[in-house]
Amino acid sequence: MMGNASGSGSLGELDDLYEAIILDHYRNPRNTDPVDSPDIDLEVNNPFCGDEFQIQMKVENDAVTAVGITGRGCAISQASASLLAELVEGKKSGEVRASVSSFRRLLQGEELSEEERDVLGDIEALGGVRKFPIRIKCALLSWVGLDDALKEHLAK
């Protein structure tokens, strides 16, 4: 597993949850610019912890051509949203939905195929959240919202 450059010292297994890539995306979230006339524009929130995100996407010819995710939340939900935004940009809707499915399976502790791992790349670092079950919802928040919205959009 990738180590965290900072080292958590007395904070025990914290590096398993907050890998360097997660802290990086938390501190410098990607794709936070609003999308012009988005085809998908939704808000997701987790009332339990108050995390909330606005997700905007442009979908053209069955591909996500632009994505913007902004909001506030814990390091896990923010980094997860940022990694998601980076992943979906330019992807076909089917690929996006398949990635969401792989991500869910990762968090459920299931074995991923080589191909799935390649697609997720750095996102696999979020797998550390499995050790902290109460935080799985934080990691899934934006993914579930985006997947539901995309499904609805495709059904139109």
Task: Please work out, in degrees rounded to the nearest 5, the angle formed at the alpha carbon of residue 97 by the alpha carbons of 138 and 44.
Answer: 35
Smaller CB separation from other proteins, 63 or 132: 132
Q: For residue 101, what is the enclosing H or E element? A: helix 93-107
User: Three-state SS for 106?
Assistant: helix
Smaller CB separation from other proteins, 41 or 52: 52
- Residue showing tokens 């696999």: 124
Smaller CB separation from other proteins, 13 or 152: 13
Residues 6 or more apart in contact with residue 34 via CB below 8 angstroms? 56, 68, 70
Which residues contribute to the site for other proteins (CB under 8 A)? Answer: 6, 8-14, 17-18, 23, 26-27, 47-52, 72-76, 132, 135, 138
- Residue 77 beta carbon to other proteins: minimum distance, rounded to whole angstroms: 8
User: Which amino acid is it at 19?
Assistant: E
- Residue 50 beta carbon to other proteins: minimum distance, rounded to whole angstroms: 2
- Residue 85 beta carbon to other proteins: minimum distance, rounded to whole angstroms: 19
End-to-end CA distance of the chain: 42
In this structure, the strands spanning 40-46 and 51-60 are: antiparallel
Smaller CB separation from other proteins, 107 or 150: 107
- Residue 25 beta carbon to other proteins: minimum distance, rounded to whole angstroms: 13
